[in-house]
Structure 1
């Protein structure tokens, strides 16, 4: 049986900031949809050692970046197309990189795991389940939105698109027990050596119940204690058939 390798890169930008100008733009979001069928498809096991979520968080005075691990997952390929799949994200594995060795990383990691953000004690896993895959069309992208201006305002969706997107991948993103369907632009490439995909995108974190210092309070904006709701989520995933991993 033909072996496939999947690098599914959706690099994350977790954008937060204390202040509000032109940058932002989130992907299309709707109610959860039926998960895509993997019938008659080749199943690829996600290589968790080579797979992770990456993130960058911003505020007016600076930015933070880090990773979150992938605990399990599988991708389904039929012929020359990605048709289904899911990944499980280990929230407790969240790591801050920019403050590593400076004493602040552990504090930030603990805060992100707290009920004010991901509530890892009650919701230790997040998940992304593919519901549909279609050809990319720039005309179908949601328009960028205006956001409060600061030195670290989140990048516009149009600014973080992966180079030469080829497909839209729709999937249910489950965070804190809330499942919503998102449609993300991706570059998908199939060769004799396998399948690769890359993407970058923004979401509105408040829709998943992550509302710490969100944009709803004008008073907080005036006090520079405002956190952008615009969040870019993504994954760096590699998967292959079981036989190729042995």
Structure 2
């Protein structure tokens, strides 16, 4: 089969560089009815990103918003997603570039509906587009055609990189209570907890959270701690590197989705 590595050109917020097949145009989303994977992607994006006609309102920005690079896989009908992930991980390991799963909701709504990825991974904060392209080139080498990949998309995205912190007399018990309630799982999906002496930290890296969702998370944590939501601090997960001023970030223009696409034959 022919496998395409897509790098679609787009503006600063979301640039998808596509190594494509021989035909012009980008990959269309599957026709309805949607697959269960596509339906799950829609739910994930809606929960994590306050999906509407564009981005959520985000004032928790600066170092709390970061630029990252993701690889989104558009598989064929009989794709082996597990084997595809192993192929990507093997290529990443040879480059000392660990990959982590990330929710598809990090994609802009228009692009998410266009690509409908069933597997997506994020590179480390220091990784560049060139790093991701090289990794895809390596992963799409010998034997990858048999895995059922139609397209690899290399895409820069914006992510929230937040830490929720609060004082607690028994942070271990508080962490367990928060996990049992499930509000953070419902709102954030994946998150990490760190228990310190008299303090609980909850860290999140994923789709941008609108201000209302951030307050929902603070309230959920505070409820279990029996304190006011104002007692839950929101800060950057890391003080290093460069953040993003969302007020200066240009909006995603879906009309640019198909412009400037570079197509290259990639196997057969």
Task: Give the TM-score category using the shorter length.
Answer: under 0.3
Q: Which has the higher helix share?
A: 2
TM-score using structure 2 length:
0.24
TM-score using structure 1 length:
0.25
Q: Which has the higher strand share?
A: 1
Structure possessing the higher radius of gyration over alpha carbons: 2
